[in-house]
Chain A
Amino acid sequence: MGRFRGGVPIVPTFLVLDEKKVFPFESIINTGCGRTILSYDKAVLAGLDFKHLRVDEAEGIGGCTKIYELKGNIRIGLLDEEVGGKTRKVHVESLGGVYFFGKEQECNPSLLGWDVLSRFELSFNVMHNDISFKRLKVKPFDHKVLEF
């Protein structure tokens, strides 16, 4: 599903808002990140008004920064086949909310954190430039798997 670019693991991802809008993008698999934080451009593309988002703080290698939480019917989709594969699956993971970086951190990419990653067994194969996800069945998280 995922692959490496510049030594960094990336995965094709969808943001699904209220079962009405979908935004495709790539995100970095970040096992050091407790929650998924999407880049500022995704917030702009989704037309979010930062005045209506809850402000929180994230601590990382660059120090502390503001992040903004959108609550509601939020789903993150993960594409589960390489481009050119015969069939494609999308793991659609329900979340109670998702964070966004603000304008002050507009250089930051989207980071896929443990709120999504903890639902899967991850396998990284640098030699074959491949990252695969296998769902952990013991986890009772709200999700669906769609095939295309």
Chain B
Amino acid sequence: MPKKDNISALLAGEIPKIEKQMEASKWFGEHEEDLRKKYGGKFIAIRDKRIESSTDVDGLIGKLGVERSNWFIVYVSRKKTVACW
């Protein structure tokens, strides 16, 4: 049986990781147009300003190693688009 505070302990360890991802997300937003020139049409993963890329998600995640869930992953469109979900 999991302990009552399992989620709290798990999340405590993940908060620094989400903060790193949000930093990467902000950095992506600030450099999106430059990144589009090089990575347009690809998926990229960003961590500490390091970038990995692939044409598909499975290929990208395969490049990320054991700490793969710590990377910020995003699709870079070929052209600037209007987001509409």
List residues of chain A with CB under 8 Å of any chain B CB: 3, 5-8, 10, 12-14, 16, 18-26, 28, 30, 32-33, 39-41, 44-45, 60-61, 75, 77, 79, 83, 88, 90, 92, 103, 106-109, 111, 144, 146, 148
Contacts and interface: CB of A to CB of B under 8 A. Distances in A.
Interface string B10-35: 11111101110111011011001000
Contacts, number: 103
| Prevailing SS type, chain B contact patch | helix
A83 B11 contact: no
Given A24-B18, A26-B21, A41-B57, A19 B10 contact: yes
Interface of B: 2, 6-8, 10-15, 17-19, 21-23, 25-26, 28-29, 32, 43, 56-58, 60-61, 68-70, 72-75, 77, 83-85
A16 B15 contact: no
A109 B18 contact: no
Nearest to B19: A83
Given A5-B28, A26-B72, 16 more contacts: A5-B29, A6-B29, A10-B25, A13-B18, A19-B7, A20-B2, A20-B6, A25-B21, A44-B58, A45-B68, A45-B69, A75-B7, A83-B19, A90-B11, A92-B11, A146-B8
